[in-house]
């Protein structure tokens, strides 16, 4: 890797955008509640009896539907949303919103059945009558089952037992579940049938969610893949279970990517190509070349080492906020764990720090796992990068290896409160580093993270 990187610069998201997006999301829930009140829901709830149960069921169902669509928008890869919040934060919110919407959906089903029965019919008979006798309800039941499956397989205990490819395939059923819920809302929902404002709101929200997914998850990735025509140029072993892939393409100077970002990659090398995997650039983007480096962790990543030159590649992205957009000059400290070194290595090549202003703390299980030795040695000689290897098994409750468990971030990097700090690694490890950095006086606006979690 040489230093002839393409200087790609992209305007940052305005400072107010994140607040505006959060306010809009909260406002959508208020709109839903307001439409429910306008349709008499509050009066029915205050009146008590089975009508109150039905009114509460309707409100829970409406809120669940709104949150489901917000959940879709959170991970629709909308560029302004992604740059404002970052993919790791959006993924966490996606999970929280998903679990909340599922709980509300369960309450909706549990309450709507006795509410419609009114104490006069067996609840199971009433449920059967609702599913089979009302328009769109059979589709809604199938959608509920799909969403319940997605929720269960998103629990941490279940995710640990699933291969990434299996989890990702099951997760796609969330789109099916949301889509199947639409007909019953439009055909039988009292809050839709009786209110033109409600119909306009919900159609707009559904269209926005579907349009965002089709545009940013399908349309733009296909256009960029065709335009840049990426192909595998070379596959090179970097260390035990670590493989770099060099990719050639067309007009890469017009690809809006920065060092530190990642793409979702699909290598057209045979069965399983449709499942995308997130890999960061491990070097700065250049005019005709990109490089990613992949750790063999199973879940399809082992296939990367067997890629053949000339293999076509589909890309989705770029994503991630761990870029030089936040760098304002001066000292910089980068803290990496394992494969988390890849985006930070790209930043070391890209950032315009002065000689001797950069420090890399590199956490690895063993000396053999320290990758990119030649490049790091070059950066140390020619740009004065200070490399601090932290080798060994992780000490309990610490981000440091056992041999260095008595050390601290402030001790390893004197004056740590001054530099910009970039951290990349596994989720719990990153959280530990962030806590120590904040305790050492690093301001929040100087601390930049990217977590590896799914």
Q: Which two tokens stand for residue 283?
A: 């070097």
Which of 3.40.50.80, 3.20.20.80, 3.40.50.620, 1.20.1260.10 is the CATH number of 324-452?
3.40.50.80
Residue whose entry in the numeric block shows the structure tokens 């997914």: 213
Residues 1, 375 contacting (CB under 8 angstroms) = yes
CATH topology for 229-319 is Elongation Factor Tu (Ef-tu); domain 3 (2.40.30)
Phi-psi sector, 299: left (phi>0), alpha (psi -120 to 50), beta: left
Task: Give alpha helix (H) positions in 39-136.
Answer: 41-47, 49-74, 79-85, 87-117, 123-133
Integer Cα distance of 204 and 212 in angstroms: 12
Phi, psi (deg, nearest 5) at residue 450: -145, 125
| pLDDT one digit per residue (tens) for the chain, 454 residues | 444 433 333 445 565 666 777 788 889 999 999 988 888 888 888 888 888 988 898 899 889 889 988 988 888 888 888 877 777 788 888 888 888 988 898 898 888 888 877 767 677 777 777 777 777 777 778 877 877 887 777 777 766 776 666 666 777 777 777 777 777 776 676 667 667 888 888 888 889 999 999 999 999 999 999 999 999 999 998 877 889 999 999 988 889 998 999 999 999 988 878 888 889 999 888 888 999 999 876 656 778 888 999 999 999 989 888 888 888 889 999 999 988 999 999 999 999 999 999 999 999 988 888 889 999 999 999 999 999 999 998 888 889 998 887 888 999 999 998 899 999 998 889 999 999 999 999 998 899 987 665 5
Integer Cα distance of 253 and 309 in angstroms: 22
Integer distance in angstroms from the first to the last C-alpha of the chain? 30
């Amino acid at each position: 890797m040489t230093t002839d990187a393409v200087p790609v610069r992209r305007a940052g998201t305005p400072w107010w955008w994140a607040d505006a997006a959060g306010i809009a999301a909260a406002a959508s829930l208020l709109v839903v509640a307001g439409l429910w009140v306008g349709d008499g829901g509050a009066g029915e709830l205050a009146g008590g009896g089975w009508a109150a149960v039905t009114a509460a069921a309707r409100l829970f169902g409406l809120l669940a539907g709104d949150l489901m669509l917000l959940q879709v928008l959170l991970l629709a890869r909308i560029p302004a949303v992604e740059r404002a919040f970052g993919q790791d934060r959006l993924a966490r919110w996606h999970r929280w919103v998903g679990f909340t919407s599922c709980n509300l959906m369960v309450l909706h089903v549990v309450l709507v059945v006795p509410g419609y029965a009114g104490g006069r019919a067996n609840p199971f008979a009433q449920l059967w009558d609702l599913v089979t006798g009302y328009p769109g309800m059979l589709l809604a039941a199938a959608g509920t089952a799909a969403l319940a499956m997605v929720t269960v397989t998103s629990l941490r205990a279940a995710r640990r037992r699933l291969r990434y490819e299996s989890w990702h395939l099951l997760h796609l059923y969330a789109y099916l579940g949301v889509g199947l819920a639409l007909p019953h809302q439009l055909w039988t929902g009292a809050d839709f049938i009786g209110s033109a404002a409600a119909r306009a709101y919900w159609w707009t929200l559904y269209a926005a969610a579907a349009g965002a997914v089709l545009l940013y998850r399908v349309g733009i990735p296909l256009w960029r893949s065709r335009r840049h025509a990426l192909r595998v140029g070379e596959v090179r072993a970097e260390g035990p279970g670590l493989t770099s892939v060099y990719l050639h393409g067309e007009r890469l100077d017009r690809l809006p990517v920065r060092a530190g970002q990642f793409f979702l990659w699909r290598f057209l090398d045979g069965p399983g190509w449709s499942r995308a995997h997130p890999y960061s650039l491990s070097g700065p983007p250049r005019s005709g070349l990109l490089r990613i480096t992949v750790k063999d962790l199973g879940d399809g990543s082992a296939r990367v080492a067997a890629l053949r030159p000339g293999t076509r590649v589909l890309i989705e992205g770029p994503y991630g906020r761990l870029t030089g957009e936040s760098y304002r000059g001066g000292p910089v400290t980068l803290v990496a764990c394992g494969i988390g070194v890849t985006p930070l290595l790209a930043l070391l090549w890209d950032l315009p720090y002065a000689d001797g202003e950069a420090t890399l703390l590199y956490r690895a299980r063993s000396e053999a796992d320290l990758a990119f030795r030649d490049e790091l040695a070059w950066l140390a000689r020619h740009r004065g990068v200070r490399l601090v290897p932290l080798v060994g098994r992780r000490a309990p409750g610490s981000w440091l290896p056992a041999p260095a468990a008595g050390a601290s971030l402030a001790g390893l990097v004197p004056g740590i409160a001054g530099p910009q700090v970039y951290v990349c690694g596994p989720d719990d490890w990153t959280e530990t580093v962030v806590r120590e950095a904040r305790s050492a006086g690093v301001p929040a606006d100087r601390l930049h993270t990217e977590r590896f979690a799914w």
